[in-house]
Structure 1
Amino acid sequence: MAQRSGSADLPLHHGRVPAWLGQRMARLGAVMAEAIVHHYGREEFLRRLAHPFWFQSFGAVMGMDWHSSGITTSVLGALKRGLNPMAGELGLHVCGGRGRHSRQTPAELVAIGDRIGIDGTALSRVSRLVAKVDSAAVQDGFDLYLHGFVVTDDGQWTVVQQGMNDATHVARRYHWLSEGLESFVDAPHAAIEGRGQGNIVNLADRRAAPARQAQLSLLEEFGPDRLAREVAVLERKPVVAAEPLLPHLNLPHHHDVRPDDVILRRLHGALAAAAERGPQDFAELLLVPGVGARTVKSLALVAEVIHGAPCRFADPARFSLAHGGKDRHPYPVPIKVYDKTIAVLKDAVSQAKLGNDEKIGAIQRLDAQARRLERDARGPSFQAFMAEERQRSHEYGGRSVFGEEPPTEILPVPRTVA
């Protein structure tokens, strides 16, 4: 039986992803998905998408606003653009999206089913059912506006959909996973993101089975008109049943990345691994022109998103330190570094397809080294790390929605050790 895996608050953000970032997100998201499928299989990629902490970290490492609701739209859009052209090779198909695109999902699934030989009509029914459950059976104050459906050639699937509450300026993301799913109305969610917003009517909870049956019986016995009159004079006194505590990711409303948002020892582990493994595994082994120390630092964080265990993603803000953010938080997107990261990964995945796993193995070793070193690694304070990134932003091709980052006066960078 699929279970909830966690929850989080997602501040509502408006605006668009600029084309220069959206194109790169599609390329980076696709090649990271290829790497995951190569190492762990398509089903594991679906499990990752169904994990709310990993999903947020995945979006953050791609340069999207690390804490905002916009990650959901931008990640699903990037995967749709990046993976669908490779669907014949990877066996992954991304449908749906925001607004009118969400309503096209059933038709997209039928077309995919006709093309690859799976039951697209049944999948389209799944799409409608999960949307109904999260909009009608789970009445939590959030209006659905986004529905993404990722399906494999084997008919396995993940659904990610999101609703908004304009009154509280908070979004809630719902994750579904076909693996282990036995019922659409009895605790079906793999995860729901979002802190409770008062009393919630959740008729999809397994504990609500008596309530669902009672509603049907009352409707049959009394009819809708009499029920409406009776309900109008009743005082609602909800009973809250005990529920196991789940991990909660509380994404703050502040835009900037602060020291408390990052597990610093893990950042230091990644920096130490980049310094130690970089000269051996990257400058000499990968032989991608122009790969330097800064690119290896980004690759260390990307490698963790590809290979890290679920417990590694409690601080998605840390992954924004790979490629910054479009709104200059934590700093402008370092375009030159971003492009080198994509080039290294594409080269490694291409070689792996030909049977040469040495380069893609180097990325995996980088992640393993970071985890080994983080217990004892020391490095710059968070403030010093951020100061250096901002000072060198122009050198790295820094860019944001406000334009290209101009050169700044080079000031001494504090080297205090945290």
Structure 2
Amino acid sequence: MANRGGSADLPLHGGRVPKWLSERMARLGAVICQAIVMEYGRDELLSRLAHPFWFQSFGAVMGMDWHSSGITTSVIGALKGGLRPLERELGLHVCGGRGRHSRKTPDELVAIGNRVGFDGAALAKASRLVAKVDSAAVQDGFELYLHGFIVADDGHWVVVQQGMKGDAKTARRYHWRSEGLRSFVEQPHAAIEGAGQGTIVNLTDVRAARSRSSQVNILGGMGPDAIVREVGRIEGIAEPAPVEDDQPLLPHLVMPEHHDIRPKDVMLRRLHGSLAAAADRAPTDFTELLLVPGVGARTVRALAQVAEVVHGAPHRFADPARFAMAHGGKDSHPFPVPLKVYDETIRVLKSAVGKARLGRDEELDAIKRLDRQSRQLEAGATGPSFSEFIAEERRRAPEYGGRTVFDDLPSAYARAKMRV
């Protein structure tokens, strides 16, 4: 069976991703994926995408709303656009998406399979089964509206799909991975994210094997006596045989309703570690960047957090809010997206990856050292309080080209939204 990565609560948010951010997300997401594949291989990237904590942090470091369900849509969209020109290089293909795009997934898989050589028809069937399990076998009240299927040339794949419960304003994200998958109907998920909704009917639970078998038998013609016995068992007239609980306790990430990032949402010692590493490594490894006063040093701080998304271990992503400190958030939380910093981050990463392709690893190694030193320094590093850090970022936002989704709205309305 597939490994499960945990669960999370996600508030359901509307709105749109502005073009100025979506285009940057596609570029930054693509180059981060390139760096991961180059350093750790394609299967490792698929493993990261199947991990709900990493996935949320990945979206946050790209400037999306750090806590909301919108990260799912925007990350899948960014990868679909950003990785398309790199399909031959990376051997990765992103299919599906939201709404009508999700329904095109099987046709996309067949077309890609014909082009690169895997069994597209079999994967199209897998896509349908995944959607069917999460909409029918897991009866949790969430209506699926997004289905993203990421597949490699060797046929390995990850599915990220999401459902909504509009009346409760919550979303649940489901992660699947082909590695280790033996059954579509018995504990297939790599992870399920979403708000706890009380008791649900989960027919993919290993403990539901007897129920699945009984349903097939009943529908196959066991007759009225068997149906009466089954109803009696469900109503407690007949005591069901005890089953062993083999569900381990899993990590559970709770994404709060509040838009602003609060001190409790961030592991401050890790933030201080990345700040200290950036201050230490910048003069040594990123001298050319520092020729741009005020922006170059700030970019190295962003790179330290991007480096952790590339190199960090799974346990490092328990506080996705921390990764919003790299490039802010489109809704102004924790601060406006610093476009000058964002663009420099993309430029440095693209340069590092491009040179590494030619055998010159020094820039990519410098970024890796940022992550390593952040972890080394965080135990004893000190720095500004969380409130001071945010206040300074907001103060310098104009210098960094700070921008939010409210900039094109009437000024009074925009100011009111930023105060929320």
Q: Report the TM-score, using the length of structure 1 for normalisation.
A: 0.92
Unaligned stretches of 5+ residues in structure 1? 406-418
State the Cα deviation string for residues 245-293 of structure 1 (Å, max 9, x = none): 1111000000000000000000000000000001101115x78867611
Q: Is residue 397–residue 404 contact of structure 1 (8 Å, CA) maintained in 2?
A: no
Residue 182, structure 1, aligned to residue 186, structure 2: no
Alignment of structure 1 residues 6-405 onto 2, 5 Å: 6-222=6-222, 235=235, 242=245, 243-284=247-288, 292-403=296-407
CA distance in 2, matches of 1:117, 1:43: 18
Unaligned stretches of 5+ residues in structure 2? 410-420
SS in 1 for 2:325: helix
Q: 1:235 to 1:150 in 2, by over 3 A?
A: same
C-alpha displacement of 1:43: 0.5
Q: Which amino acid aligns with 1:401?
A: V
CA distance in 2, matches of 1:309, 1:64: 22
Q: 1:369 to 1:176 in 2, by over 3 A?
A: same
SS in 1 for 2:393: helix
State the Cα deviation string for residues 319-360 of structure 1 (Å, max 9, x = none): 001000000000110000000000000000000000101100
Q: Which amino acid aligns with 1:50?
A: A
C-alpha displacement of 1:219: 1.7
CA distance in 2, matches of 1:404, 1:364: 38
CA distance in 2, matches of 1:48, 1:233: 42
Q: Is residue 274–residue 301 contact of structure 2 (8 Å, CA) maintained in 1?
A: yes
SS in 2 for 1:160: strand
Ranges of 4+ aligned residues in structure 1 off by more than 6 Å: 236-241, 286-290
Q: 1:207 to 1:235 in 2, by over 3 A?
A: closer
Q: Which amino acid aligns with 1:91?
A: G
Q: Is residue 98–residue 146 contact of structure 1 (8 Å, CA) maintained in 2?
A: yes
SS in 2 for 1:403: helix
Q: Which amino acid aligns with 1:194?
A: G
C-alpha displacement of 1:195: 3.5
C-alpha displacement of 1:186: 1.2
Percent identity over the alignment is 70
CA distance in 1, matches of 2:60, 2:196: 24
C-alpha displacement of 1:216: 1.1
Q: Is residue 323–residue 337 contact of structure 1 (8 Å, CA) maintained in 2?
A: yes
SS in 2 for 1:278: helix
Q: 1:251 to 1:240 in 2, by over 3 A?
A: farther
CA distance in 2, matches of 1:121, 1:299: 41
Q: Is residue 3–residue 180 contact of structure 2 (8 Å, CA) maintained in 1?
A: no
CA distance in 2, matches of 1:328, 1:398: 9
CA distance in 2, matches of 1:345, 1:227: 63
C-alpha displacement of 1:3: 2.3
SS in 2 for 1:191: strand
CA distance in 1, matches of 2:79, 2:337: 19
CA distance in 1, matches of 2:120, 2:234: 44
Q: 1:308 to 1:234 in 2, by over 3 A?
A: closer
SS in 1 for 2:189: coil
Q: Is residue 171–residue 195 contact of structure 2 (8 Å, CA) maintained in 1?
A: no
SS in 1 for 2:168: coil
Q: Which amino acid aligns with 1:318?
A: R
Q: Which amino acid aligns with 1:121?
A: A
CA distance in 2, matches of 1:213, 1:3: 24
Q: 1:233 to 1:4 in 2, by over 3 A?
A: closer
CA distance in 2, matches of 1:213, 1:235: 18
Q: 1:73 to 1:288 in 2, by over 3 A?
A: farther
CA distance in 2, matches of 1:289, 1:27: 22
SS in 2 for 1:17: coil
Q: Which amino acid aligns with 1:186?
A: E
RMSD: 2.3
Q: Is residue 159–residue 177 contact of structure 1 (8 Å, CA) maintained in 2?
A: yes
Q: 1:201 to 1:236 in 2, by over 3 A?
A: farther
Q: Report the TM-score, using the length of structure 2 for normalisation.
A: 0.92
Q: Is residue 398–residue 404 contact of structure 1 (8 Å, CA) maintained in 2?
A: no
Q: Which amino acid aligns with 2:162?
A: Q
C-alpha displacement of 1:4: 1.5
Q: Is residue 13–residue 68 contact of structure 1 (8 Å, CA) maintained in 2?
A: yes
C-alpha displacement of 1:22: 0.2
C-alpha displacement of 1:221: 2.7
Q: Which amino acid aligns with 1:34?
A: Q
Q: 1:154 to 1:233 in 2, by over 3 A?
A: closer
SS in 1 for 2:359: coil
CA distance in 1, matches of 2:308, 2:91: 24
Q: Which amino acid aligns with 1:192?
A: I
